[in-house]
């Protein structure tokens, strides 16, 4: 129930209260006037009786006293009626006060219930929003983890593929050197020894098995055309803008460091185009 309805009902209950209060107050004033009139009469009779008591006989004196006593009893009745009217008037007003207190208590209780319901609804909405945010964050984190795992797996697979290609390249180069060595077996022993030494040097500069078998740190930077980590002898490109910078001797067909400036195959092609 709204405050307007409470006020309307309470004002309806107070509609007859002023009339009842006015009637009771009028009756109490009338009773008070009657009681005061009787007291004045009693005073006059007492003033008349007291000086003449010695002259009166017993029967007359008794009659006068009984008359005064009756007036006193009547005044007392008027006073009792006035007290009863005052009590009724107090109870009438007190009844409306109690009703007002009861209506106020119920109204405050309804307001508190509405406030608690609104707070509970807000808390439920906030909890639901927090839960949804947590779920979204969890999904986002899961997607990020999945993406990171996929990227790491791609890098590892790319590294392994590059290592396999580099190993195959080294083995192919070694095989070619061995063929050349067999074809020139009729040459002198010193030349055969030099070719054997060259073969061993090339095999050493290629991707050695111990390097290929070493575990690769995914965070370690890679270089060269083979996209492998740094190992063995390497040479740096003299182009300051070279995206790769460093190259393995074997990957660029070098045995020793050349004199002067050296440019990688990609930078050499770019310089020729310019």
Q: DSSP characters for 83-152?
A: HHHHHHHHHHHHHHHHHHHHHHHHHHHHHHHHHHHHHHHHHHHHHHHHHHHHHHHHHHHHHHHHHHHHHH
Structure confidence at residue 193 as a pLDDT band (50, 70, 90): very low
Does the annotation flag 267 for ligand binding? yes
Structure confidence at residue 202 as a pLDDT band (50, 70, 90): very low
Mean pLDDT of 85-104: 87
Does the annotation flag 251 for ligand binding? yes
The pLDDT of residue 37 is above 90: yes
Q: Which of 179, 182, 174 is nearest to 199 (CA)?
A: 174
Write the pLDDT tens digit of every residue in 52-94. 888 888 888 889 899 999 999 999 999 999 999 999 999 989 9
The pLDDT of residue 42 is above 50: yes
Sign of the torsion angle spanned by Cα atoms 216, 217, 223, 227: positive
- pLDDT at position 23, please? 92
Residue of 155 and 27 predicted with greater confidence: 27
Does the annotation flag 264 for ligand binding? yes
Write the pLDDT tens digit of every residue in 121-168. 889 888 888 877 765 555 555 555 555 555 555 444 544 444 455 444
Does the annotation flag 96 for ligand binding? no
Does the annotation flag 242 for ligand binding? yes
pTM for the full model?
A: 0.40
Does the annotation flag 226 for ligand binding? yes
């Amino acid at each position: 129930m709204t405050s307007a309805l409470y006020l309307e009902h309470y004002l309806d209950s107070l509609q007859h209260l002023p009339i009842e209060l006015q009637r009771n107050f009028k009756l109490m004033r009338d009773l008070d006037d009657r009681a005061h009139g009787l007291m004045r009469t009693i005073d006059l009779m007492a003033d008349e009786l007291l000086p003449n008591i010695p002259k009166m006989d017993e029967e007359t004196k008794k009659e006068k006293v009984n008359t005064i006593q009756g007036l006193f009893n009547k005044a007392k009745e008027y006073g009792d009626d006035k007290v009863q009217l005052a009590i009724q008037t107090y109870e009438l007003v007190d009844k409306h006060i109690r009703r007002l207190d009861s209506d106020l208590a119920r109204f405050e209780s309804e307001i508190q219930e509405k406030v608690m319901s609104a707070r509970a609804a807000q808390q439920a909405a906030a909890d639901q929003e927090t839960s949804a945010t947590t779920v979204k964050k969890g999904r986002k984190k899961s997607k990020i983890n999945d993406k990171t795992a996929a990227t790491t797996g791609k890098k590892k697979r790319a590294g392994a593929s590059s290592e396999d290609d580099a190993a195959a390249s080294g083995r192919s180069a070694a095989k070619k050197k061995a063929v050349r060595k067999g074809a020139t077996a009729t040459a002198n022993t010193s030349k055969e020894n030099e070719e054997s030494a060259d073969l061993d040097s090339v095999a050493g500069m290629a991707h050695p098995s111990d390097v290929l078998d070493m575990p690769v740190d995914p965070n370690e930077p890679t270089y060269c055309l083979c996209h492998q980590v740094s190992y063995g002898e390497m040479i740096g490109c003299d182009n300051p803008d070279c995206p790769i910078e460093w190259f393995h001797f074997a990957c660029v067909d070098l045995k020793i460091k050349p004199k002067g400036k050296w440019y990688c195959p990609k930078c050499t092609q770019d310089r020729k185009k310019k």
